[in-house]
Amino acid sequence: SQVIFVGREAGQETRVSASAETVKRLKGLGFDVIVEAGAGLKSGVPDSEFSSAGAEIGSAADISKADVVLLVNRPLDTLIPHFKRGALLLAVMNPYDAAASLNLLADQGVTALSMELMPRITRAQSMDVLSSQANLAGYRAVIDATHEYGKAMPMMMTAAGTVPAAKVFVMGAGVAGLQAIATARRLGAVVSATDVRPAAKEQVASLGGKFIAVEDEEFRAAETAAGYAKPMSEAYQQKQAALVADHIAKQDIIITTALIPGRAAPRLVTRAMLASMKPGSVAVDLAVERGGNIEGSKAGEIVDVEGVRVIGYANVPGRVAASASALYARNLYAFLETLVDKAAKEVRVNPEDELVKATMLTHAGAVVHPNFAAAAE
């Protein structure tokens, strides 16, 4: 049978690309599964759980036997020469500014599919790693903010007096933002949110949040066909910033999640806005690794900016590693299942399939993705 290899992640990564459940299902498709020893430790899955599910526990060297390699992140360049020629790799490849790595993968004959390039169409919903991970990041952002906040979230009426509910403002009401709204509401906060996409208004309201935005003509047209945000005009941004500035001065906690595909994150919160907040306020910048929505936020750090604790944790889904891994593993399984010839019990990647077309970075010795091929030449 063909071999699937589940690697141990490098560096600070806490997640893993398989679960006991997906190992069983991969075995069910007719594959042998090798899990690198210790791969699940940081997400609470011991080797014994993988072996009970039917995996063989192996070492890093076993990658050379693999027809399919499953990872969370792009493999280190030093690992790539050990791949079997023609192997299939599924991971969050983060292909931007990675021309050297893509060339190595192409030279090794690896077919690398980048999970985060999955189109957001109905057929691919179960494979959507951006959504599964953003959901948990939005949840965790509220937990992290609550942890740093020196006051209670819900209103409490006690014999010693009343503690007011915290006011939480969520900027960017996509997948992460909507989960942040729901989580903050469950904790009893008074929640408001903003977005530049008109469709977000109703979603925010349905979760019990108050929607704050300049709703002019530009706003009504600000969604792309793919459902993503467009960059807004200078004039709109100024009007919106004025409205938001007044609102932020009254908040206890801000959570920012705003992204625009293929661009740096929009700057939404200035130092002056932070300075207007009450002492003890907290802000979480989920966009910190993409340039940041909050002025002064630092990736991987909690910093004090104008008296506000600004949380900039990197890899927030990795802070809920067990759940994030379980969902990520299912996303991988759902995609891989479509790439398997069930009768032959073998992987057969069809380069004409729209999901393959959208995600395939390297194939048959070349960097093939139109967005990354030129840079890699």
- Note if 128 is an active site residue: yes
Given the residues 12, 52, 77, 120, select the one marked as catalytic. 120
Which residue number, 130 or 184, has a Cβ lying nearer to ligand NAD? 130
- Please give the helix or strand (H or E) that residue 360 lies within, else none: strand 360-363
Given the residues 2, 32, 107, 228, select the one marked as catalytic. 228
Given the residues 48, 125, 206, 238, select the one marked as catalytic. 125
| Smallest separation (angstroms) from ligand NAD to the CB of 214 | 11
| Smallest separation (angstroms) from ligand NAD to the CB of 213 | 8
Which residue number, 27 or 185, has a Cβ lying nearer to ligand NAD? 185
Which residue number, 87 or 175, has a Cβ lying nearer to ligand NAD? 175
| Smallest separation (angstroms) from ligand NAD to the CB of 351 | 23
Given the residues 17, 43, 62, 128, select the one marked as catalytic. 128
Do the Cβ atoms of 207 and 294 come closer than 8 Å?
Answer: no
| Smallest separation (angstroms) from ligand NAD to the CB of 26 | 24
- Note if 120 is an active site residue: yes
Residue number with the smallest Cβ distance to ligand NAD: 174
Task: List Cα–Cα distances, 345 to 51, 167, 288, 330, 338, in angstroms.
Answer: 21, 54, 43, 19, 12
Which residue number, 62 or 285, has a Cβ lying nearer to ligand NAD? 285
The C-alpha angle with vertex 192 and arms to 183 and 310, in degrees rounded to 5, equals: 70
The token pair at 62 is 């076993």
Tell me which amino acid residue 14 is: T
Do the Cβ atoms of 289 and 299 come closer than 8 Å?
Answer: yes
Which residue number, 254 or 339, has a Cβ lying nearer to ligand NAD? 254
- Listed in sequence order, the DSSP H helices in 249-349 are 271-275, 321-338
Burial of 361 (C-beta count, 10 Å sphere; 0-12/13-18/19+): buried
How many other C-beta atoms can be found within 10 angstroms of the C-beta atom of residue 264?
11
Given the residues 19, 131, 240, 325, select the one marked as catalytic. 131
Do the Cβ atoms of 172 and 293 come closer than 8 Å?
Answer: yes
d(CA 216, CA 222): 10
Which residue number, 215 or 304, has a Cβ lying nearer to ligand NAD? 215
Contacts of 340 (CB under 8 A, 6+ apart): 29, 346, 347, 348
- Note if 203 is an active site residue: no
| Smallest separation (angstroms) from ligand NAD to the CB of 70 | 22
Which stretches of the chain bind ligand NAD, using CB under 6 A?
120, 125, 128, 130-131, 134, 171-177, 194-197, 199-200, 227-229, 232, 257-261, 266, 268
| Smallest separation (angstroms) from ligand NAD to the CB of 281 | 19
Name the residues annotated as catalytic.
Answer: 120, 125, 128, 131, 228
